[in-house]
Chains A and B, each alone.
Chain A
Amino acid sequence: MDWNKDKSVMFSRVCIIVFAMLLAAADIGAYWLVSWFMGVSHTLGGLRDGYLLMATVYSCSIFAWILLVNLWKLLANIRRGMPFETSSVKYLRISSWCCAGVCAICLLGTLYYTPLILVSIVSGFMALIVRIIKNVFEQAIAMKTELDYTV
């Protein structure tokens, strides 16, 4: 198979669409999802835990939507052949804060459901990775600007 960067970007776009569809399904079916999860979980029980889990799902979902929109915009910059734009740094910064937001929400969620700590740690790491990529982009943009203005 002839794999090139255009196909790679296209694959990333497809992945974002798939994730958006899954997220929309999770938002619509959050009630049934939580009911099913409460059924299989041994530690969760009662109406209070159900409400808290629903609140966690929906508040994380807001960050997930913002994250997906920003990733889509970042891919649009890459498709236009201009990934090293200041707007890309902005999108990465927002993405990083979205991961940090999920990390914080799940950390709070550990008060009623301890295993959420795993999601919190993973999203915290993700926030850190995206933040470092953002720093790399910032540096690359500064270098590109200098190169553009070297005669």
Chain B
Amino acid sequence: MEIIVNLDVMMAKRKISAGELAEKIGITPANLSILKNNKAKAIRFSTLMALCHELKCQPGDILEFRDDSETE
């Protein structure tokens, strides 16, 4: 049971690089990498809002809930 961050998918759809996105939403590339690689423990509403604004999408497009027990 986990939350998957599909940021790379949205970034590919919008044709935006990690460095460019990090600069636009005002976080460090290192932090964006943590988020993109599903290493993050939590995400601030302000960061999510900025991501949705820049990528022109909904939070659901970036975050996905995956229940392992249902797939077994």
Contacts and interface: CB of A to CB of B under 8 A. Distances in A.
Contacts of A149: 34, 39-42
B25 to A, nearest CB: 10
B4 interface: no
Contacts of B34: 149, 151
A146 B39 CA distance: 11
B43 interface: yes
Contacts of A151: 27, 31-32, 34-35, 40, 42-44, 47
Interface in A133-151: 145-146, 149-151
B41 to A, nearest CB: 4
15 contacts: A145-B41, A146-B42, A149-B34, A149-B39, A149-B40, A149-B41, A149-B42, A150-B41, A150-B44, A151-B27, A151-B34, A151-B35, A151-B42, A151-B43, A151-B44
Nearest to B35: A151
A16 to B, nearest CB: 36
* Best-surrounded residue of A146, A150, A151 (most CB of chain B within 10 A): A151
Contacts of A150: 40-44
